[in-house]
Structure 1
Amino acid sequence: MIAVKLHDIGEGMTEGEILKYYVKPGDYVKADQPLLEVQTDKMVAELPAPTEGTVKEIIIKEGTTVEVGTTLLYIEAKKKEIQNKQVVSVANEKIKTEIKEMVPFEQKQIFYTPHRRVLATPYTRKIARDNNINIEEVPASDPSGRVTEEDVYRYIEQKRNSTKTIPQKTKSLSNEETIQQTSLIEEIALNPIRKKISKKMTKSIFTIPHVTSFDEINMTKLMNMRKELKDSGYSISVAAFLIKALVIALKDFPVFNAELDDKNEKLHVKKYYNIGIAVDTTEGLLVPVIHNADKKSIQFIHDEIKRLNEQARNGKLKIDDMKDSTFTVSNVGPLGSTGATPIINYPETALIAFHKTKKMPIVSKNDEIIVAQMMNVSLSFDHRVADGATAVNFINRFKELVEEPNILLLELI
């Protein structure tokens, strides 16, 4: 009997939601035939049959979220297939029994194991130390007793909430009023993407000391150049120009295209430039990646932005589209944003946000009042690896390339 388990089909995947099965018990399947559809934190994927045979039993129901490694169903392989695979009978029966009795991942009970040597990774212990938490007091959500970083964050939040002063009610609610208020509360379960965003943002903000630098950029010349190109039949998005300028600035300030190895106290500066593009979708924020942007033309970058946006919003991004970003861009200007303090896409060292471009009166170099198209930018960076002066100089370099597009073109030659 072959156990089909949920395996890691993406970077760092820990769990997935079973959306639907394509088979039922008794169906005969061929090797690599799709068996079911799984929603991960980044995409919808199909799990294929590992062998040819008959579906004997489906263990996990549709709509259930389970961890990687969980057995989903069993296939009775053809005899010649069985001879080539290790058959584990007693262990499989034990696993099968445990799975039938387990509760959904979200409903795990907390396991307390006082007065013991806590099982935890060095990184988890560091989080506890940095927040003055005794890790032995942290309840573990894993039956093995291992304390995870999520357990520590949850414990920190609980301590914060417990110290808040609860105001006294001047008038208690009647049972009828309480029922009426309860009926006005809607509970919405977080989808896998939103849960992943929550965990990653929490890790980023608790790990990285964020600092945000703000500036404004005169977009007038770039907008005029774009208009001339459009009149000539070349429709290029502003974002494509900005990303190209950004890559040039990153080469001059490589600390922002790096990853900090906190454990070994080393900074890994990357000589490739993979720019993540934050995309707002109905399921949550996704960050597809333009790989090797330094080697791509502005036209190619424009086409790639368009493709990745469409794939993200249609739920058709591939695993390779989401991998190995070195720096992330959030283009929130089209939504009307004028400023923000964005959270860094961990483990990167910086993230830049482009805000709304609008016409404003400014004072020219000749002390004349003129109308210009101005855009605000906000750069969040890791203060462990860079100081404010470095961030300002980086923005100034980027600003120079955008405000004087002729200089940008010269850098491309």
Structure 2
Amino acid sequence: MLAVKLHDIGEGMTEGEVVQYLVQVGDWVETDQPLVEIQTDKMIAEISSPCAGHVKEIIIEIGETVQVGTSLLYIESSNKEVEKQQQQPEEDISKREANMTSVVNFHRVLATPYTRKLARENNINIEDVPRADASGRVTEADVQQFIKYGEVNHSIVPEVQEKVLVESVHDVIPFMGIRKKIAEKMTKSLYTIPHVTHFDEVNMTNLFRIRSEMKASGESVSVTAFFIKALVVALKDYPIFNAELDEANDRILLKKSYHIGFATNTENGLLVPVVHNADEKSMKSIHKVVKDLSERAIAGKLQPFEMKNSTFTMSNVGPLGSTGATPIINYPETAIIAFHKTKRQPIFNDLDEIIVGHIMTFSMAFDHRVADGATAVAFTNRFASLIEQPHKLMMEMI
């Protein structure tokens, strides 16, 4: 028999939580067929079968967190299965072939661990749940709707029934996986770094005009791409904010790489994909990278290395309606900037004429051990000047 172990799915991974087994003891599996879902600190990954054969034993229970190298289940390889097949009656062989046919049609739907858990505890096959989301993802609301109006088998064992009742009474949300890791990291950041938050605003009128002109000519570049490019220019002028405090060796490390993380809200929690080497990319290239990373973050398909080694983080919460906030620094970085709601309001132009402008508020939190308020203001002023006068930003890219 072959032991299927938890291997290192991503960079530096040491442990994972068993979310769900996709097979049962006795099932026939093909090579590379997904066997079990594992929750790491950043993503949900599937462990696939290294060979064809029968599942003989499942060792680790759902919900347990185990170290890399731990055996999860045993598979009896296909060679032994062939020997057994030769001694089996034709009827059993037909059953096995039918089982293999179902394997060929194997299909996995997208859903969070909690949504799958809710379906399991209500004895629902998650693949039978109709999806309202155009992406095909099954949401918690879909499962609740199916429980309420669909055909649900309530023949659940008493222990599970009691657990479902308790959770429905208390509206229980499991505190685990990505949510727990976010909490740990935010707590470490807030209790380690003395945060100071600087608030300011920027005139987006010229940027919006240029984007409209670009769109009319067939070119589309997101505001986020402009933000990232302007941040890189400002960070080069004020490298103290592209730094990391090395307390153990009493030094501040000024990073020469510009890896810009951007906070992305997903069904699994807040993820921070990273645009690596943003200083080496064109605005158009940054736009494409951000779009790709955002879509895969929402779909839960990011790789661990795509969320690592950021040197500065931004959060664009304006589209959600935010008017102001004090963001928490993405430890061990030195600063984070958050962009808030853009409002139409009367402003004066260069000719002292009153026009309708687009004004966006933003806030920047920084590590007061590393930088001072005056430097933070200078940094944000530099950033704002590039956004308010996009031609200056274009000149920086020549």
Question: Considering the TM-score relative to the shorter chain, is it more than 0.5?
Answer: yes
How far the C-alpha of 1:260 sits from its partner, in A, is: 1.5
Deviating more after overlay: 244-253 vs 366-375: 366-375
What amino acid is aligned across from residue 234 of structure 1 in structure 2? E
The answer to whether the 8 Å contact 1:331/1:355 transfers is: yes
Q: Give the TM-score of the pair, scaled to structure 1.
A: 0.69
- Cα distance in 2 for partners of 1:207, 1:283 equals 26
How far the C-alpha of 1:49 sits from its partner, in A, is: 4.4
Asked if 1:67 corresponds to 2:66, the answer is yes
- 2:361: which partner in 1? 376
- Cα distance in 1 for partners of 2:359, 2:32 equals 54
SS at the partner of 1:406? Answer: helix
- 2:41: which partner in 1? 41
- 2:328: which partner in 1? 343
How far the C-alpha of 1:384 sits from its partner, in A, is: 1.1
> What is the aligned counterpart of 1:225 among 207, 210, 215?
210
- Cα distance in 2 for partners of 1:396, 1:201 equals 27
Q: Which segments of 5 or more consecutive residues in structure 1 lack a partner in the other structure?
A: 80-181
- 1:303: which partner in 2? 288
Q: Deviations over 1:83-120 (max 9, x none)?
A: xxxxxxxxxxxxxxxxxxxxxxxxxxxxxxxxxxxxxx
What amino acid is aligned across from residue 208 of structure 2 in structure 1? M
> What is the aligned counterpart of 2:244 among 253, 259, 272?
259
Deviating more after overlay: 397-406 vs 367-376: 367-376
Counterparts of 1:12-411 in structure 2 under 5 Å? Answer: 13=13, 15-25=15-25, 34-49=34-49, 55-62=55-62, 64-69=63-68, 70-75=70-75, 185-411=170-396
CA shift in 2, pair 1:183/1:190, >3 Å? closer
- Cα distance in 2 for partners of 1:407, 1:298 equals 14
The answer to whether the 8 Å contact 1:276/1:289 transfers is: yes
- Cα distance in 2 for partners of 1:208, 1:77 equals 53
What amino acid is aligned across from residue 47 of structure 1 in structure 2? I
The answer to whether the 8 Å contact 2:10/2:305 transfers is: no
- 1:132: which partner in 2? none
What amino acid is aligned across from residue 43 of structure 1 in structure 2? M
The answer to whether the 8 Å contact 2:341/2:361 transfers is: yes
- Cα distance in 2 for partners of 1:368, 1:22 equals 66
The answer to whether the 8 Å contact 1:5/1:68 transfers is: no
How far the C-alpha of 1:250 sits from its partner, in A, is: 0.8
Superposed CA RMSD: 2.6
Q: Which segments of 5 or more consecutive residues in structure 2 lack a partner in the other structure?
A: 80-166
- Cα distance in 2 for partners of 1:322, 1:342 equals 18
What amino acid is aligned across from residue 280 of structure 2 in structure 1? K
- 1:6: which partner in 2? 6
- Cα distance in 2 for partners of 1:204, 1:10 equals 23
The answer to whether the 8 Å contact 2:38/2:47 transfers is: yes
How far the C-alpha of 1:290 sits from its partner, in A, is: 1.0
How far the C-alpha of 1:256 sits from its partner, in A, is: 1.2
Q: Deviations over 1:33-75 (max 9, x none)?
A: 543221223222122446787644211123x131324432245
SS at the partner of 1:362? Answer: strand
SS at the partner of 2:331? Answer: coil
The answer to whether the 8 Å contact 1:13/1:68 transfers is: no
The answer to whether the 8 Å contact 1:191/1:283 transfers is: no
How far the C-alpha of 1:371 sits from its partner, in A, is: 2.3
The answer to whether the 8 Å contact 2:11/2:305 transfers is: no
SS at the partner of 2:170? Answer: coil
The answer to whether the 8 Å contact 2:10/2:303 transfers is: no
How far the C-alpha of 1:198 sits from its partner, in A, is: 0.7
- Cα distance in 1 for partners of 2:168, 2:275 equals 46
Task: Indicate the percent of aligned positions where both proteins have the same amino acid.
Answer: 62
CA shift in 2, pair 1:226/1:7, >3 Å? same
CA shift in 2, pair 1:13/1:205, >3 Å? farther
How far the C-alpha of 1:248 sits from its partner, in A, is: 0.8
How far the C-alpha of 1:338 sits from its partner, in A, is: 1.2
- Cα distance in 2 for partners of 1:57, 1:347 equals 43
Q: Give the TM-score of the pair, scaled to structure 2.
A: 0.71
SS at the partner of 1:263? Answer: helix
The answer to whether the 8 Å contact 1:260/1:267 transfers is: yes
What amino acid is aligned across from residue 322 of structure 2 in structure 1? S
